[in-house]
Amino acid sequence: MPMELTQSRIQKIWLPNDNRPALPRRSCGPQLANSPTVIVMVGLPARGKTYISKKLTRYLNWIGVPTKVFNVGEYRREAVKHYSSYDFFRPDNEEAMKVRRQCAMAALRDVKLYLTEEAGQIAVFDATNTTRERRGMILNFAKENGFKVFFIESVCNDPNVVATNVMEVKLSSPDYRDCNSTDAMEDFMKRINCYQASYQPLDPDDYDRELSLIKVIDVGRRFLVNRVQDHIQSRIVYYLMNIHVQPRTIYLCRHGESEFNLKGRIGGDSGLSNRGKKFAVALNKFVEEQNLKDLKVWTSQLKRTIQTAEALQLPYEQWKALNEIDAGVCEEMTYEEIREQHPEEFALRDQDKYYYRYPSGESYQDLVQRLEPVIMELERQENVLVICHQAVMRCLLAYFLDKSADEMPYLKCPLHTVLKLTPVAYGCRVESISLNIEAVNTHRDRPEEAKKGPNPLMRRNSVTPLASPEPTKKPRINSFEEHVAVSSALPGCVPQEVPTQMPGQVS
């Protein structure tokens, strides 16, 4: 007999009407039919593995696939409080090799816990993993637990790129706190040489031909892809082939104040108010002052963004994907009218603003899926100005700043303000620039009765700038310092206690 169905009031989707207990909501995206996946990073130090790990994790979390980075270097810093020199990474340092292996095993135990008990779907194992012996250990671990494995190897032989990465990222590592840059650079280059001697690159033509992998060569100049197993791996490959590391700036702003903004009405396709037109003129002056080369301008297909862009006297591209969230039966209504005419819908949206779908309209979850092509193209571009709408801007901002689904619908994106986003090593620096044109405030704070802590199954788990705070970590491994012969410290360096939690980057 066909099963009776009941429609979810918040998401407007059909669910079985039976007495089975409800399954926990694992993510803010579609459920994966495949086994959990372990992404294994491979490559010498300073090849951008952690950059790829954190950026990929931010993307996967944003599209609704719970993902977490497990950086073995952090486990090592917890175990060995005082880093002395590159001698720790020499292949003939047997005691240190024991420590490093135990750190890797501790990280894998946490990977298992995350994927089996904490509703994770993808774990990123961020380490060098430069030998076949180490990769074989990971493959055996995955086979024992029924996990899929996808390797990402970053290969770069350009000494200038490597030196730049060391200077920008590695020298600020806790390993080199209070160490002068010359000595730190020398030590780190010797550390790389320790790995170089035993490095066994992935070999998709012979030894590793059965593995699922992508080799990213020379920071995206070339790619080699082998045996992609499923949909999520294909999305990972597509994402990695679109990102780049060239310096650029992304500007996000809303259209100028509209006639509907003045009346408190949502949605619709009204034109600019007088103050909105003044903002468009001010935006033109602002863009000229930035003196940007080859600036791309994107708008939605709605009148108010196009009117704003017209004042710039620059070519612009209209994206239907950038249109404001569809409020369905509530389009062109005020919130007071929605409360009076659709009281249940009004209350439901306050309960769960991210998942709530307007009748015959959209949810923030739908909007994220609609905006994925925009994110992909933004990653490919250099300098871009996106003139969009409040909900759209929140979704884009949540991607760049690694905000959770719980935070996203309440991000403040005021009218007549430009947000300047500058990608940095492991995140994004944001500047808020008001153009000093008055406008109505369209922001609605989270209702008091709906305020709650982030859903633990939906929070951001990557250690990245502006991510939701991590809880206090319990020690994951015992200290191995008693097993390690501490070498003399580097010249100009003072060994420091390394915190068990990485400090936040500048935002």
Active site residues: 126, 156, 255, 324
Strand pairing of 213-217 and 148-155? parallel
Length of the chain as a residue count:
507
Residue that has been written with the tokens 């949909």 in this structure: 231
Whether 53 contacts 69, CB under 8 Å: yes
**Nearest to 493, CA basis, from 195, 187, 75:** 187
**Nearest to 131, CA basis, from 70, 175, 196:** 196
415, HSE (Cβ side, Cα atoms, 13 Å):
26
**Which DSSP helix (H) or strand (E) runs through 335?**
helix 335-341
Strand pairing of 213-217 and 222-226? antiparallel
Structure tokens at 359: 């009748």
291/280 Cα distance (integer angstroms):
17
494/86 Cα distance (integer angstroms):
15
Whether 97 contacts 91, CB under 8 Å: yes
Q: What is the 3-state secondary structure (H, E, C) of 295-321?
A: CEEEECCCHHHHHHHHCCCCCCEECHH
Torsion of CA 423, 427, 429, 434, to 10 degrees: 90
Q: What share of the chain is helix, strand, coil (3-state, %, to 5)?
A: 40, 15, 45
* Dihedral pair phi/psi, residue 492, rounded to 5°: 80, 5
**How deeply is 445 buried, as exposed, middle or buried, from its count of CB atoms within 10 A (0-12, 13-18, 19+)?**
exposed
Grouping H, G, I as helix, E, B as strand and the rest as coil, residue 130 is coil
Q: Which neighbouring-strand residues pair with 154?
A: 216
Q: Which neighbouring-strand residues pair with 217?
A: 155, 222
433/297 Cα distance (integer angstroms):
18
Structure tokens at 423: 């990608």
Instruction: Count H helices and E strands in the chain, helices first.
Output: 14, 14
Taking phi over 0 as left and psi of -120 to 50 as alpha, with beta for the rest, 252 belongs to beta
Strand pairing of 213-217 and 250-254? unpaired
Q: How many CB atoms lie within 10 A of CB 246?
A: 9
